[in-house]
């Protein structure tokens, strides 16, 4: 890339996503990290910005469903490529399960959330989409996480979130629950505050602060678990 500013990276990334050129996308992501060694910036300023634009182009029929699917698949592939670089050596022996609400098919944001926990020393269990609530409950019983994070992208899945929260409160009254996802831009803060003792976080910068706050109360295991 000739020009090293953020817009240029996201423009180039988007351009190559739309061309379906995974190799270039991967190179752009790595070059970005060489210049700006912040995975959170890469996720927020390049990947998220590009996928939101993909959504806009798709909604306005400027690109096909196939192009949108490929763009998402390429981005998910690159998230997986970067995983080695993101896990922190400093571990806190804390576990988080990250999943999507039932019927939700959007999982990229949730994956970024899981990665952010890994960056700050937590062990994350990313379940993605398509897990029925009863299976989630069984998995929580098995893993016994310190925190459960759930993603909601589509507003029409909000009732599924409410049902899940009711079940979770019944089964695990002490479990710390975190919610996020772009559906909350259509849900008023008053309604969110009525969901009970849960924390809503909008993006990875705020999530980082939240995890750092939690970590400030824990002892680290500097030898690492991985
Ligand atoms: C890719 C995509 C899909 C893919 C998803 C594949 C996959 N593997 O994830 C598929 C094809 C399945 C899909 C389906 C649909 N989609 Co879609 N999709 C998208 C697209 C283009 C990108 C999504 C994405 O990855 N964004 C990037 C991520 C990083 O952003 P994010 O999810 O907001 O996550 C960030 C934050 O919200 C936050 N966050 C997210 N979760 C959590 C959780 C916690 C705990 C925390 C702390 C933070 C957090 O962290 C992330 C980083 O900041 C978006 C466009 C857009 N604006 O996002 C449309 C979009 C979300 N889809 C949309 C629609 C309408 C649909 C469908 C209803 C289409 C249809 N008619 O079938 C279906 C719904 C299916 C369902 N039941 O869920 C609309 C939603 C409109 C709305 N107002 O609700 C959008 C906005 C497109 C548009 N402009 O119209 N989609």
- Place 2 in a pLDDT band, splitting at 50, 70 and 90: very low
Pocket flag, ligand 1, residue 59 (CB < 6 Å): yes
List, in order, residues 6 or more apart from 128 with CB less than 8 Å away: 99, 100, 107, 110, 111
154 Cα to the center of ligand 1, angstroms = 7
Strand runs labelled E in 23-152: 95-100, 123-128, 147-151
Pocket flag, ligand 1, residue 203 (CB < 6 Å): yes
Q: Report the C-alpha gap between 89 and 80 in whole angstroms.
A: 18
Domain map (residue ranges) of the chain: 6-86, 95-215
- Whose C-alpha lies nearest to ligand 1, atom 19? 55
Q: What is the pLDDT of residue 24?
A: 97
**Closest ligand 1 atom to 105 CA:** 78
Q: Report the C-alpha gap between 8 and 158 in whole angstroms.
A: 36
Q: Report the C-alpha gap between 159 and 164 in whole angstroms.
A: 9
> What is the pTM for the complete model shown?
0.95
Q: Which of 10, 42, 55 to mutate to test the pocket of ligand 1 (most atoms within 8 A of CB)?
A: 55
> What is the chain's Cα-based Rg?
18
Q: What is the pLDDT of residue 221?
A: 63
- Place 225 in a pLDDT band, splitting at 50, 70 and 90: very low
- If you classify domain 6-86 with CATH, what class do you get? mainly alpha
Q: Report the C-alpha gap between 223 and 92 in whole angstroms.
A: 10
Q: Report the C-alpha gap between 180 and 202 in whole angstroms.
A: 6
> How confident is the model over 68-122, as pLDDT tens digits?
999 999 999 999 999 888 888 899 999 999 999 999 999 999 999 999 999 999 9
Q: What is the pLDDT of residue 223?
A: 47
How would you classify the pairing of strands 199-200 and 176-180?
parallel
> How confident is the model over 34-48, as pLDDT tens digits?
998 899 999 999 999
Pocket flag, ligand 1, residue 109 (CB < 6 Å): yes
How are strands ordered across the β-sheet holding 147-151?
123-128, 95-100, 147-151, 176-180, 199-200
Residue that is written with structure tokens 């925190």 in the block: 147
Pocket flag, ligand 1, residue 154 (CB < 6 Å): yes
> How confident is the model over 7-26, as pLDDT tens digits?
699 999 999 999 999 999 99
Whether the pLDDT of residue 3 is over 50: the answer is no
Pocket flag, ligand 1, residue 48 (CB < 6 Å): yes
191 Cα to the center of ligand 1, angstroms = 21
Distances (CA, A) of 164 to 1, 36, 125, 133, 154: 46, 39, 18, 6, 15
Tell which CATH classification among 3.40.50.280, 3.30.1050.10, 3.40.50.880, 3.30.300.30 matches the domain 95-215.
3.40.50.280
2 Cα to the center of ligand 1, angstroms = 31
């Amino acid at each position: 890339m000739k020009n090293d500013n953020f817009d240029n990276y996201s423009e180039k990334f988007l351009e190559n996503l739309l061309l379906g050129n995974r190799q270039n996308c991967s190179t752009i992501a790595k070059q970005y990290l060489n210049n700006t060694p912040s995975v959170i910036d890469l996720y927020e300023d390049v990947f998220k910005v590009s996928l939101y634009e993909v959504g806009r182009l798709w909604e306005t029929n400027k690109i096909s469903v196939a192009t949108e699917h490929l763009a998402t698949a390429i981005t998910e592939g690159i998230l997986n490529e970067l995983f080695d670089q993101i896990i922190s050596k400093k571990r806190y022996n804390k576990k988080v399960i990250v999943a999507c609400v039932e019927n939700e098919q959007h999982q990229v944001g949730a994956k970024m959330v899981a990665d952010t926990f890994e960056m700050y020393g937590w062990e994350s269990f990313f379940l993605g989409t398509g897990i029925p609530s009863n299976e989630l409950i069984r998995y929580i019983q098995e893993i016994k996480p310190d925190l459960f994070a759930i993603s909601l992208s589509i507003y029409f899945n909000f009732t599924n979130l409410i049902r899940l929260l009711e079940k979770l409160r019944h089964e695990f009254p002490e479990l710390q629950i975190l919610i996020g996802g772009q559906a909350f831009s259509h849900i008023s803060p008053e309604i969110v505050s009525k969901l009970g003792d849960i924390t809503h976080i909008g993006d990875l910068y705020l999530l980082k602060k939240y995890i750092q706050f939690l970590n400030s109360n824990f002892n680290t295991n500097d030898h690492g678990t991985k």
